[in-house]
Structure 1
Amino acid sequence: MTTAEDKRTLVQEFKLDPDSELRFEIESKNEKVYLVLKSGLAEVFGTELVKGKSYEFTSGAKVAVFTWQGCTIELKGKTDVHYVAKETPMIMYSNCHAALELMRISAEKDNVKGPVTMVVGPCDVGKSTLCRILLNYAVRMGRRPLLVDLDLGQGQISVPGTIGALLVERPASIDEGFSQEAPLVYHFGHKAPAANPALFSMIITQLANTVKERIEVNKKTKMSGVIINTCGWIKGLGSRKIVQRISSAIAFEVDVILVLDQERLYNELVRDIPNFVKVVLLPKSGGVVERSKSARSEARDQRIREYFYGTPKNSLYPHSFDIKWSEIRIYKIGAPALPDSCLPLGMKAEDHLTKLVQLTPNAGLLHHLFAVSFSEKDDDEIINSHVAGFVCVTNVDTERQMITLLSPQPKPLPNNVLILSELQFMDSH
C-alpha cells in the first residue's frame, strides 16, 4: 500500500538559484526517476536540457543538474539522495574550458595542433565527468575534439580492459553518454596497468602515434585538440605511478594537465613535468562518492553487458554461434619469465611481459572475453593492432572441439585471431 508520505515524494519541484546544482542518486534496483526542466536553462555535465522533455534515469545513476541563470526542475520518482548545492566547481571547470578555447583560437591562427589536455587524480573524484563537461562545451562551440580513454577499469569507449579514442561530434546524450560510432580500441586485457606495465606502455605509445596521425588528416579535429581521461591514482604505488603519468603525457605531447583533488600529485607533476606543460589543480565536486570494490566490479559487469545487450533505451541483440577450434587462433599476451638458473651463463632473461603465446582451446576459457584482432599475422603486429570488437566464450565442448561465442555480429568473425582477456562475463540472458 502506498502511504501519503510515499505519494508526496513521487513528484518534487526544485527552484534553483543561478550557479547552483541539484544532485541526486538512484541506488535502488528497478527504480526509475524522470527529470523535467519546467522553466529557465539547465545542463547535465555540459549537455543542455530541453525544456519540457522527460529524461529517464535508472539504478546506479548519479546526476548533477547545473544552472547558470536559475531554473525550475521537476523530479518524478524516488531518489535515494537528493539536495541542492550552492557551492559547485562548475565555474572553475568553465574557466578551464574558456582557457582551452583561447588555445584553440590561437592554434587556428597559427595552423598548429590544438591543446592536448590530460585529466589525472585519485579514483572516484570525477575525472570522467570533467572530461565529459569539457568535451560537451567544446562541441557546443562548434569544435570536434578527440576523447582518449586510458581508464582500464571503467571502459568509457569500449569494454573494461581496453584503451581507445573516439571522435566527439555532438554533445553527449543526457542518459547514455557519447555516441560510440567507429571508436579506435586497443586491447590490454587487465583491470589495472600494474598487471602488465610493459604492455600498457607499449599500447599507449601505439595509441598516441595513431591519434597523432589521425588528427593531422582532419583539420577541424587538429585545431579542436584532445581530452585524455586516465586511471585513478592508487595510494602506495608512489613514484612508479608518477613515471607512468609522465610517460603517458610525453607520448601524447600533452599541453595541459588538470589534477583533480590531489595536491601531492599536483606538486610532484609540477616538479617533474617540463615547464612548457601547464599543470592546474582543481577541486572535485561535493557530489562525488567513493565506490567500494564490489560497486566497481558491478559497474564493470554492467559495462560489458551493455556492450552485448545495449541499454534499456537502446537494446542490442547479440548472436550466439559455434565455431570449430581449428577455425580460430587464440593467443594471450605475456608469459612467465624464465629463472636465471635456466639460462646459459652470462645470458639475461628477456622480457616476457609482451611475448605472444598461442593457446590451445580448453575449458578454462569459459566466460572469458576475447578481443578480435584486425591483424592477419602471427607476430607482434597482433599486440600493436587495434581490435575489431569483443566476443565472450559461453560454452566449451571438448569432445566436439567446438566453442560457443556470444558476439555483437553474426558469423563469420571479422578475423580468426582472438586475444584472451582476464575479464569474464556470465551471460544470464
Structure 2
Amino acid sequence: MTSYLNMHLALEQFREETKARDEPGPKVLIVGPEDVGKTSLSKILLSYALRQGRQPIFVDLDVNEGSVTMPGTLTATPINQIIDVEEGFGSSTTTLPFLGSSMIPITYYYGYSDPGENVKLYKMLTAKLANTVKLRITNDKDAKTSGMVIDTSGLIDNTGYEIIQHCVDCFEVNIIIVLGHERLYSDMTKLYKERPGISVLKLAKSGGVVDRDKTFRRQTQMRKIREYFYGLPKFELSPCSTLINLNEVSIYRVGVGSLAPSSALPIGIDRKVSETQLVKVEPDDSIRHSILALTSANSPDEQSLLETSIIGFIYVSEVDIVKQKMTILAPCPGRLPKQYLMMGSYKWMET
C-alpha cells in the first residue's frame, strides 16, 4: 500500500507539471495477469486523485469484469464522486441518475468475455472509445489536467501483447504500470525503451488478492446482469416486462457463431467471414434468455451499428414465433427508443 500511495504522489506531481505547461495529465495503463488487483489499484488511484480535487476518467477495457456496467462492454466514466466501498463504481448504471450521480459512462458493446475471441472488433471499439475520451479531454479542463486510469483484461499472451500495444497507441499512454508479473515488466521495458515519453513502472500485487475460478467469475457476471435490471441492495429497481412485436426491432450480431482465432487458421488461408461482418439474426428460440444491447444507431449499416455507443440493455424472456412477439425485460416502461439491437454471447436466466 505504501508503493501505491507513492505512485499517487508521483502522478499528482506529474499533473502539476503538465498543468503548468498546459498539457494533458497522466494517462495510466495498468496491465498484468488475472487476479493481481488491477481494478483495485485503479480504484485506489482514482480515489486518491478525487480527494485531491481532480476529476480523472476511468477507462474499463476488461470485458470480463463489467466494473461499471454490463460484462462485455468497454466504458469510459468521469470520476467526480467517491467510489462506494461496497458497490464499487456503482455496479448498475441504471441506479446512477436516481442517486444524483453524473458518472454516466460512454459504453460500447463487445459482447464477449475474452478480448481474444474477436481481436479485430475489440481493437476497433477500443480505438473508437479512445477518440471519444480524447474529445472529452480536449473540451474539459479538469479532465485534461486529471488524466485517465485505464484498467485492462488479464490477457498477457501474444494476443494480449498486441492489444496492450494497440491501447498504448490509441490512448497515447505515457505511464504503463505492470502489476505482479516480472516477465511482462521485462517485455514492456524492452518494447518501450526506445519510445520517449512512455515510462514503464513495476508494482507488487496487493497481499489481499485471491485467485478466482471460472465458476466464480461466471457468478459475478450473472450478478452484474441482475443488478442492471433490479438495482443494488441500497437502491432496488423494478424493471418492466413488455411485449413487443418482432417487426419493431432488428437484431444483429458480429460474425457467425464463435470465430476461431486467426492464428488457428491454416497457413495461407484467410478467414471467409470477417470478424466485424454483421449478420442479421432472425428471432427464434435461440435468442431466449439473451442480453441485447440497444444501440443509438439510426441506420443498419455496419459502421453505424458497430461504432455507435450503447444506450441500454434488454433481456429476452420469451419468444412467440406464431404471434411474432417477444417478451422483454427493460429497466423502464414504454417503447424502445431505438430499433437496432446487438446480440453477444451472454445468456442470463432470470430467477
**TM-score (structure 1 length as normaliser):** 0.74
Asked if structure 1 preserves the Cα contact closer than 8 Å seen for 2:116 and 2:159, the reply is: no
What does residue 94 of structure 1 align with? 5
Whole-Å separation in 1 of the counterparts to 2:42 and 2:286: 38
What does residue 314 of structure 2 align with? 391
Letter in 2 for 1:415: K
SS in structure 1 opposite 2:235?
coil
What does residue 427 of structure 1 align with? 350
* Greater than 6 Å deviation, 4+ residue runs: none
Structure 2 residues without counterparts, runs of 5 or longer? 94-102, 260-268
Q: How does 1:39-58 map to 2 (within 5 A)?
A: none
Q: How does 1:14-413 map to 2 (within 5 A)?
A: 90-179=1-90, 180=93, 181-234=103-156, 238-273=157-192, 274-335=195-256, 352-379=274-301, 380-413=303-336
**Could you tell me how far 1:348 is from its partner in structure 2?**
6.9
Whole-Å separation in 1 of the counterparts to 2:272 and 2:190: 33
Letter in 2 for 1:293: K
Letter in 2 for 1:363: D
Letter in 2 for 1:299: T
Structure 1 residues without counterparts, runs of 5 or longer? 1-89, 338-346
User: More strand per residue: 1 or 2?
Assistant: 1
Task: Using CA pairs under 8 Å that are at least 6 residues apart, name the structure with larger relative contact order, 1 or 2.
Answer: 2
Letter in 2 for 1:172: I
Bigger drift between 142-151 and 406-415 goes to 406-415
Query: Kindly tell me: are residues 232 and 349 of structure 1, through their superposed partners in 2, closer, same or farther at Cα, counting changes over 3 Å?
Result: closer
**Could you tell me how far 1:351 is from its partner in structure 2?**
5.6
Asked if structure 1 preserves the Cα contact closer than 8 Å seen for 2:67 and 2:89, the reply is: no
Larger radius of gyration: 1
Whole-Å separation in 2 of the counterparts to 1:138 and 1:154: 23
Identity %: 37
| Residue correspondences, number | 327
What does the per-residue CA deviation read over 1:32-86, in whole Å, with 9 as the maximum and x for residues that have no partner? Answer: xxxxxxxxxxxxxxxxxxxxxxxxxxxxxxxxxxxxxxxxxxxxxxxxxxxxxxx
Asked if structure 2 preserves the Cα contact closer than 8 Å seen for 1:388 and 1:414, the reply is: no
What does residue 414 of structure 1 align with? 337
SS in structure 1 opposite 2:150?
strand
Whole-Å separation in 2 of the counterparts to 1:394 and 1:320: 9
Letter in 1 for 2:282: T
Bigger drift between 408-417 and 185-194 goes to 408-417
What does residue 264 of structure 2 align with? none
**Could you tell me how far 1:349 is from its partner in structure 2?**
5.8
Asked if structure 2 preserves the Cα contact closer than 8 Å seen for 1:335 and 1:352, the reply is: no
Whole-Å separation in 2 of the counterparts to 1:220 and 1:127: 24
Bigger drift between 273-282 and 259-268 goes to 273-282
**Could you tell me how far 1:112 is from its partner in structure 2?**
1.1
**TM-score (structure 2 length as normaliser):** 0.90
**Could you tell me how far 1:177 is from its partner in structure 2?**
2.0
**Could you tell me how far 1:276 is from its partner in structure 2?**
2.2
**Could you tell me how far 1:228 is from its partner in structure 2?**
0.3
Whole-Å separation in 1 of the counterparts to 2:32 and 2:271: 35
Whole-Å separation in 2 of the counterparts to 1:225 and 1:155: 22
What does the per-residue CA deviation read over 1:308-337, in whole Å, with 9 as the maximum and x for residues that have no partner? Answer: 111111111111101101100110112379
What does the per-residue CA deviation read over 1:173-207, in whole Å, with 9 as the maximum and x for residues that have no partner? Answer: 12222344421000000000111111001000000
Whole-Å separation in 2 of the counterparts to 1:267 and 1:102: 26
Asked if structure 1 preserves the Cα contact closer than 8 Å seen for 2:27 and 2:172, the reply is: yes
SS in structure 2 opposite 1:418?
strand
